[in-house]
Structure 1
């Protein structure tokens, strides 16, 4: 094979980064102690970064920095300060999620390569085109995709100047990444902020099937699938695990490096996976890659599976066998740690020392000699030194002028001025020029880039506006509401649209006033069917929770609103959508609080929307969530499950909090919060800000009860927007129980 595939390893701390380099990683992704999606990892400081870059590049290994969270408005100034520091490092790319950060990077920091995070849930070709327009260089494809789907998307990505990367080892998420709010709603730890507390892996009250951990998946492992991934055109194989320690990182990276080398040399691949069971695992599955979404993907234990695996290998899970296996696993773990520690101790991630010698005499140029571990070079001033009684050169003044060297991959260890005559003067601009030349040489001949100043965004004058009401439905029976209200009516399009294309075409053709509402997930043929629907019905306006559909709507000249699942939390995200894709309006995220919403600056001629009543969708899964709860007559999902399955069930955690699993025809499995979200206060809390307030009247079962019919509820909300206090009280009385914790806490 001519093309070499990148092996991309996690680096949660300095020792793990050393381990990845020592084991043969081609690239590492790591995060600073701020602004990244693994806050539970130790992470690194900016002071550490330059030393890490030096070590990695010395070993032909690239470094990508994770900035893959959503940013609230108050964080943007700190973010820009960080970017201004990063542009003068040798960082090889930044991994991002926030659309506002895409806008900032593509407009103001063009030297930084952009990698689209898995948090962007990329799974269709329209999304690839969307990201390409935002100048992304590569994209991480959704973990739920199979080899055939990856092959297709890699081909499209390459046509649009994008590289593709795929997770090949480590934890699976039960939800599509980037659209899970379970941790955010329950505990205030948003997964989109790097704070996921993994409530999906918690113990639950035993289900009817006798399962205690019904949402816990086995780990991903594509160790035996590398040839198929290579044939699919994947450019990078990514190992998950930034909260894992150095023994794990070294063991897994080393195993994949050796397997890849066998593949390149056309040798028989290793079928023995025992080495991967010697470090933390929850057993392994490649079911998503193989397109076999089987009940065996689950495991009823979130803890380390190593001892159980070893005991099984030795014949049985008897108590005696299991205890012996635990002891052996522990001893193996100690041995691996000791062996890897010896290896990584030979790698040094510190910045390199610089020795500086400054010399000069009256009437001659200033000479600065620089010595690094690799080389020695001399620089001289353009002007000659002159004798003076004022502003003469001294040690402290020179050190202050040259301190920028400490912001590179080097630091000033020692500076000598013994050969510099006293009472000499040189203009500051000459000293600055010498400093810049030194940094240029140390930075592999890269010029120092001046700080980028981003123009401040101005708040638009708020004009007194009357906000309208909009309503989401998903049942044809509710179409009768269109003739009974002036509210905008959105109609939800299912995830599996290909099987309902004709019916949907007829529905929208016969009901010109309803507005199509496109879902977050549209994979393969379903995406193509959704695009075809757009082209055929040519609606005046749509709402899209999928950036691929947003891209196509813009191409077709169709007005579109960014849906709530795009999770918009800052002004620059709004600018990104408006300026790049002609977006006419956007929902503001329900994850943020009143103050965080207030700080957002609306672009000119742009509408803002907010959901004040809805069932709280916590996650969407491509897997069947009934297998572990009530069971299913089928062992795996087949072509009939998504179009036809229609049922729901609840489960409860040990705190007696209930969660509702809801599967409707044509849609993936979803988990909903036990209570609907209701926030009537925002209408008066932030007046004249939103163009429309939204209520979701789909028939989603939770513990929330609605004691009025849908039409009466619409009338109550319409009156509420007219400041009718009686209607406001009736809403609170007729809908219960409810929550608005996210509006109170924010992120």
Structure 2
């Protein structure tokens, strides 16, 4: 125990995309493993397991005392609810230790099936504040996975206030967008990140456009591609901040990666509890980099530092930096090495443009001043000789960076940890032997770690010993023959209470030992029993309310837009501004024109941001557009004193009727479906939920990335965060131009978070008639940078469509004709 924290309180949680990774995790010290099955998990590209394998997986893990968590961390669409129910039931039957869940509708379904089956709130829930944790408690969510953007200070605050076990990512790839809030893959490729199909648009190159002009960035092209998280040096601080589960990312990674990272973090955690030096060796860091690294960062754990989050010059794993090219020779390359290298290692020559084919291959020989060097070299000037067909020396230049991309010797060492016939772990037994002449020998076996005990008896009674009576030494020798099993018996754990000198055949002792081991293994691998009810996933579908005339609403992002919209026949307004100080003016402006107005919260809620929520309420809006569960909990706790209606926005990720019901039951008067729904999925939802209490966003610039990484601070300021950046966002407008030539606007919110909006506004106008038949209560238009005249034109067209004066197709075609960027039908494509 250290500082009141026990070693067994800390869980090391490893990823497993297949059986080899699962074994690598167990063999190298993981306390728990998270994995997915063929559907319903956020790594659709991983090999994954089959649902039928669940009993085998859980028996294997439980045999070694390791927990198994199944990732169910995606949105569940309406037509999938029964299939989701079957997977939940299979997990309960197999004894899965918890489901990691994103979709709150799925949480509702799980609780209908089982009141006690463990649920962990996924990082996809975007839980970043004590209030967001409190929101989960009525659903008996026993653990939350915090957002990667939380700092150590914030983690400590959340733990102290919310008092729920916290799981935190400590190693692996970083998403530049808040998990659960990235819509880029859906917009550009029809592949939803909230469905495990991330297309990694953040790893693509972009041009930085500042006030309409391209900024020269040298070799910095990957403006949204973060380095990889490596918090191994912060293990003591994480433990003392209250983190109970250390989570390693990587279900798409190799078993060698799993073995490497798990073993390193296992050692770091053990050093802390042993009171040893917590520092990490350079060799350990290099080996971690070797398995996978885009460069390492502490992410946001030490607070926001926009200058250290990304490198910008490459988007993929590089491995270990070796040095730079000093000279290109006739048959070799002269390199100043700063890290170890040996024959057989793989290297790549980095000329600063990873979009082009890069030269690289295996090291054939190492020379120093023309003489061959054997073994590994650590630093100095060496001639690297490559295979004749591996590289074109004429494409390598002085100054090129050199990286070690693979180390076969390291991989071989890592594979040995899990490619073995021996048990990965052994557990101590406590054995008590008793008996007397004429009675059967009794042996009680206690599996101390699992707290299981069995008793075996001899089939024949004890006889008087003529020679070689049963002694503690003889019993230890026979009963301790546990090689090939997961058990071990030490002399100190064997107690003997025999009356006189007695004997029983050795074969009988062997039989008793084998039977005891079988029984103990059965108890170890026996799945825990949870309550389970048979439910109909659609039993709670309610009748729809009647809508005589659906509302048309407009979300504005400037006072000019509010004034323009207020002068139309729009039914309701929303204000979503960069600066909260403008909210009272927006409310007054709307009221001057006789319009009601709601104010939007930020999409993210951090521990120190309740003041912003209070300011929104003090602005006296007619409603509040709630974008996160932390804000929802904050307002619901004050609903009697505030009396302000609450509307749920798209970022709550509502994708099925159970999620609709859950949020309406929590106090929302209306909810907005997730942007992940295509037209058929939207229709399915509207058919099974009360559509009269739903608002469909029918026109908008899709908010693609929502990120703590500030593009303005990183590339337009010498500062590191909002305290010293000089607020370039107040004087300049930035956009990111993609490979196709579209420039996507980047806007900043009150919390200095960036949203990258799609360059092209999208319209679902042609589906208005279908939605109206289904009884949708409200339709929203969202504006971004439109001039007042454009605002009024768009509202007029949609009002005409709602009255049936023009077709939906006419609306988007007309807008396409008047908008130089054009309009796509966006996420509502069949």
What TM-score comes out, normalization by structure 1 length?
0.79
Q: Is 1:611 the counterpart of 2:717 in the alignment?
A: no
Contact 1:495–1:521, Cα closer than 8 Å, also in 2: no
2-side partners of 1:454 and 1:178: how far apart?
24
1:304 deviates by 2.4
**How many angstroms does 1:626 deviate by?**
4.4
Q: Does 1:213 align with 2:206?
A: no
1:255 alignment partner in structure 2: 264
State the secondary structure of the residue aligned to 1:308. strand
Q: Measure the CA separation in 2 of the matches of 1:375 and 1:619.
A: 57
* Deviation of the 1:253 alpha carbon: 0.5
Contact 2:647 2:669 in 1 (8 A): yes
1:521 aligns with 2:604: yes
Partners of 1:678 and 1:317 lie apart in 2 by: 61
Match of 2:664 in 1: 578
Matches of 2:415 and 2:553, distance apart in 1: 62
How far apart are residue 721 of structure 1 and its match?
A: 1.3
Q: Which residue of 2 aligns with 1:355?
A: none
2:367 maps to which residue? Answer: none
Structure 2: distance between partners of 1:249 and 1:328: 17
User: Residue 683 in 1 paired to residue 768 in 2?
Assistant: yes
Partner of 1:724: 805
1:297 aligns with 2:309: yes
2:589 maps to 1:504 = no
Q: Which of 782, 786, 793 in structure 2 is aligned with 1:696?
A: 782
State the shift of 1:505 in Å: 4.7
Distance 1:508 1:312, change over 3 A: farther
The residue matched to 1:290 in structure 2 has which SS? coil
**8 Å contact kept, 1:591–1:743:** no
Partner of 1:169: 171
Contact preservation (8 Å) 2:692, 2:777: no
Conservation of the 8 A alpha-carbon contact between 1:222 and 1:286: yes
Cα drift, residue 66 of structure 1: 0.5
The residue that corresponds to 1:364 in the other structure is none
Matched position secondary structure for 2:799: helix
Structure number with greater Rg is 2
After superposition, give the CA deviation of every residue in 1:559-598 in whole Å (9 maximum; x if it has no partner): 211102223221111011112x122111122322222111
1:198 aligns with 2:279: no
Change over 3 Å in CA distance of 1:478–1:303 after alignment to 2: closer
Which residue of 225, 230, 233 corresponds with 2:239? Answer: 230
1:424 aligned partner: none
The 1-side partners of 2:623 and 2:207 are apart by: 45
In the alignment, the residues of structure 1 paired with residue 726 and residue 694 of structure 2 have an alpha-carbon distance, to the nearest angstrom, of 33
Aligned to 1:155: 160
Match of 2:189 in 1: 187
| CA distance in 1: counterparts of 2:658 and 2:381, whole angstroms | 56
Q: What are the within-5 Å matches in structure 2 for residues 110-149 of structure 1?
A: 110-149=115-154
Distance 2:420 2:524 in 1: 31
Q: What is the match of residue 321 of structure 2?
A: 308
In the TM superposition, 1:395-410 aligns within 5 A as none
1:482 and 1:654 map into 2 onto residues whose CA distance is 35
Residues 494-552 of structure 1, C-alpha deviations (whole Å, 9 max, x = no match): 5775xx3xx53565467553211112113233x21133235535544221111111222
For residues 342-394 of structure 1, give each alpha carbon's deviation from its aligned partner in whole angstroms, at most 9, with x where no partner exists. Answer: 3487569xxxxxxxxxxxxxxxxxxxxxxxxx9899xxxxxxxxxxxxxxxxx
The one of 729, 742, 762 equivalent to 1:645 is 729
SS in 2 for 1:543: strand
Q: 1:715 aligns with which of 768, 771, 796?
A: 796
2:711 aligned counterpart, secondary structure: coil
- Greater shift, 486-495 or 30-39, is seen at 486-495
Deviations 1:617-666 (A, max 9, x none): 111111122477xx323142232549662333333444445433334676
8 A Cα contact 1:176 1:620, kept in partner: yes
Maintained 8 Å contact 2:27/2:418: no
How far has the Cα of 1:441 moved from its partner? 11
SS in 1 for 2:243: coil
> How many Å apart are 1:80 and its aligned residue?
0.9
Equivalent pair of 1:217/1:297 in contact (CA under 8 Å) = yes
- Equivalences for 1:472-621 in 2 at 5 Å? 472-481=555-564, 483-493=566-576, 497=580, 500=581, 504-505=583-584, 508=587, 513-525=596-608, 527-533=609-615, 535-537=617-619, 539-557=621-639, 558-579=644-665, 581-600=666-685, 601=687, 603=689, 607-621=693-707
Paired position in structure 2 for 1:276: 288
Structure 1 SS opposite 2:301: helix
Instruction: Single out whichever of 114-123 and 643-652 deviates more from structure 2.
Output: 643-652
Aligned residues: 645
User: 1:331 and 2:408 equivalent?
Assistant: yes
The match for 1:342 is 419
Shift, 1:57, TM fit: 1.5
Task: Give the structure-2-normalised TM-score.
Answer: 0.72
User: Does the 8 Å contact 1:609/1:692 carry over to 2?
Assistant: yes
Q: Tell me the secondary structure at the aligned position of residue 70 of structure 2.
A: strand
- Gaps in structure 2 of 5+ consecutive residues: 209-214, 324-336, 340-377, 392-400, 426-452, 457-521
130-139 or 90-99, larger mean C-alpha shift: 130-139
User: How far 1:156 sits from its partner (Å)?
Assistant: 1.9
2:130 & 2:574 partners in 1: Cα distance?
A: 24
SS at 1:717 equivalent? helix
Change (3 A) 1:673 1:319: farther
Describe the shift of the 1:540–1:514 C-alpha distance in structure 2 as closer, same or farther (beyond 3 A): closer
Q: 1:584 to 1:450 in 2, by over 3 A?
A: closer
- Of 40-49 and 217-226, more deviation after overlay is shown by 40-49
Aligned residue number for residue 363 of structure 2: none
Q: In the alignment, what sits opposite 1:17?
A: 22
Which position in structure 1 is the counterpart of 2:825? 740
Residue 88 of structure 1 contacts residue 448 of structure 1 at CA under 8 Å; is this kept in 2? no
Q: Which runs of 5+ in 1 are unaligned?
A: 349-373, 378-438, 701-705
Could you tell me how far apart the structure 1 residues matched to 2:67 and 2:202 are?
A: 33
Task: Give the superposition deviation at 1:442.
Answer: 7.8
Q: Higher mean Cα deviation, 33-42 or 453-462? A: 453-462
CA distance in structure 1 between the partners assigned to 2:187 and 2:802 by the alignment: 26
The answer to whether the Cα contact below 8 Å between 1:126 and 1:551 also exists between their aligned partners in 2 is: yes
- Alpha-carbon deviations, 1:383-440, whole Å to 9, x = none? xxxxxxxxxxxxxxxxxxxxxxxxxxxxxxxxxxxxxxxxxxxxxxxxxxxxxxxx99
